[in-house]
Amino acid sequence: MKKKLFLVLIFLLITVNISGCWSRKELNEIAIILGTGVDYTKDNKIQLTYQLVRPAAFGGGGMGGGPGGGATMNQNITWVVSATGDTVFDAQRRLSQQISRHLYLGHNVVLILSEKLCRHGVLDVINFFHRQPLSRGTVWVMATPQEAKKVLESHSELQMTSAQAVGFLARLRTGYVLRFRDFSQDLASKGTNPVLTRVELKRLGVTQGPGLEKAHHHQEVVLTGTAIFKGDKLIGWLNCPETQGLRWLKGKVDRMGIIVPSPIYSGKKISLEVMKGKTKVEPIYQKGKIKFYLSTEAEVDLIEEQGEEDFTRPEIIKTLESTAAIEIKQRVKTTLDKVQGEYKVDSFGFGEAFHRKYKREWSKLKNRWDEEFATAQVYLMVKVKLRDTGMQGRRASLKR
C-alpha cells in the first residue's frame, strides 16, 4: 500500500515536471528580434530600434523565398519599431507596451550603433546586452554614420531580412568585422582601443525581373570601413583601403585582394588574393623608447595579370613577391599614419603585445598607453609568397 502511494506520488511529480515550465515562452508568443539599432537623440536620450521578423513570411510556401532566397514582392517580412528612453531598457519597456508579443533577443544577429551614440560613448548602452541572459557574444557589432534606425529600415534582395544579410556579409569577412565578445574584450582592455565595422545603407544595384522593366533602385546595407574608438568614444573613421591596412596590422587578412602594379610592364596591373597571412608583433623597450617590429607573412594567389609576365620563371615570381610586399607596406603605413599619427590611439592591440613581453614595465605604462604609443616607432617587414597562379602558368597569348 505504502509503495503504491509512493508510486502515485512519483507519477504526479513527473507529470507536473514534464508538462512544461513556469517561464515558458511559446514560439507564437515571442517576437524574434533580428537586428538591434541604438541611436542617440537630440535631447540626449537613447533610441532603441528593433527589426522584428514576421515568422509567417518565412514559412510561406514554395512560391516566395526558397532556401536563402529573397522574399516575394509586396510582403512585409520585417517590422522595424523604435522607441526612446533614458536607458536601453527604458526604451524597450516602451516598445513592449506597443508590441503584442515578448521581445526575444536570443536570435539577434546584428547590433548597430549610430555615430552620434558612439561619439557620446558606448558604455551607456553596451551593458544591457551583457546582462541580458538571452543576448549573445556572437552578435555582430557595427557602427554607422547614418541613423541606426534608417539602416535597419531596409530589406535585402538576397536574404530574407537586411539584418541577416549583414550577418552573412560579416561572416564572409570581406571587411574588418567583429563580434560583441571581441568588442567588449577590446573595450575592457587597456592594451588596445576598440574598433567597429562601419556599415551604411547605400543605393546599390538595380533589381530586375519580368514585370519589373521599369528599373527599381535598391538600397542595401553594406560595409564601408571601420570606426576608430578611443576608450568608448568614436573619434574617427577609416575608409575601405585603410581598413585593409588595419586588417594587416591585426593579422586578419584572409581572402583580401591586393592590386599591385606590374613589375615589368608599366601601366599594367596584377591582382593577387591573400590566402593566408599573419602578422607578428615584437615590441622592444629600450631606454624609455618603445619600438615595434612587425613581421608579416602572406601567402597569395595570382588572380589575373594585365601584362605578359611569365610566371613559370622563378625570378619573375620573386619580383612579383617583392612588389606585393611593397604594396602591403604602403597600405599598412597609410593606416598607421592615420591611426597612430592623426588619431593617436592604439587600435591594433600593440599594447597587449607589449604587456605580454614586458610585464613589469606595462604596469607603469598602461594608464597612459595611447600617449606612449603615439611616439612609438613601428618597423615593418613583409614577406610574400606566391602560392598558386590559378589555372594557368603563363599566359596563352604570351609571345616567345
Cβ at position 137, least distance to another protein in Å: 5
Q: Which is nearer to another protein, 133 or 210 (CB)?
A: 133
CB of 138 to another protein, least distance (A): 5
First to last CA, the chain: 102
DSSP class of residue 310 equals B
DSSP string, 78-124: EEEEEEEESSHHHHHHHHHTT-SSEEEGGG--EEEEEHHHHHH-SHH
Decide whether 24 or 287 has the Cβ nearer to another protein: 24
Distances (CA, A) of 50 to 34, 44, 117, 118, 314: 7, 19, 16, 18, 56
In one letter, which amino acid is 363? S
Grid cell digits, residue 9: 506520488
CB of 349 to another protein, least distance (A): 8
Q: Which is nearer to another protein, 338 or 355 (CB)?
A: 355
- Short-list 159, 118, 158, 120, CA closest to 141: 118
Under a CB-based contact definition with an 8 Å cutoff, are residues 37 and 46 in contact?
no
Residue 280: CB minimum distance to another protein, A: 11
Q: Which of 45, 34, 38 is nearest to 234 (CA)?
A: 38
Query: Nearest-CA neighbor of 186 among 219, 225, 144, 232?
Result: 232
Find the shortest distance in angstroms from Cβ 210 to another protein: 32
CB of 366 to another protein, least distance (A): 12
CB of 185 to another protein, least distance (A): 5
The answer to whether 309 and 397 have CB atoms below 8 angstroms apart is no
Closer residue to another protein in complex, CB, 13/259: 13
237, β-bridge pairs: 227
Nearest approach, Cβ of 384 to another protein (angstroms)? Answer: 24
What beta strand segments (E) does the chain contain?
A: 30-40, 46-53, 78-85, 102-104, 110-114, 140-144, 195-207, 216-230, 233-238, 257-261, 269-286, 289-305, 377-388
Nearer to another protein, 172 or 206 (CB): 172
Site residues for another protein per CB under 8 A: 13, 17, 21-23, 106, 130, 133, 136-138, 171, 181, 184-185, 188-189, 352, 355-357, 359
CA–CA separation, 154 and 221 (whole Å): 8
- Judged by beta carbon, residue 42 or residue 360, the one nearer another protein is 360
Nearer to another protein, 359 or 400 (CB): 359
Smaller CB distance to another protein: residue 37 or 167?
167
The smaller minimum CB distance to another protein, of residues 73 and 134, is found at 134
Residue 294: closest CA among 367, 227, 381, 203: 381
Whose CA is closest to 97, among 76, 83, 80, 111? 83
How far apart are CB 56 and another protein at their closest, in Å? 22
In the complex, what is the shortest distance from the CB of residue 135 to another protein, in angstroms, rounded to a whole number?
9
27 or 188, CB closer to another protein? 188
> How many other CB atoms sit within 10 Å of the CB of residue 212?
11
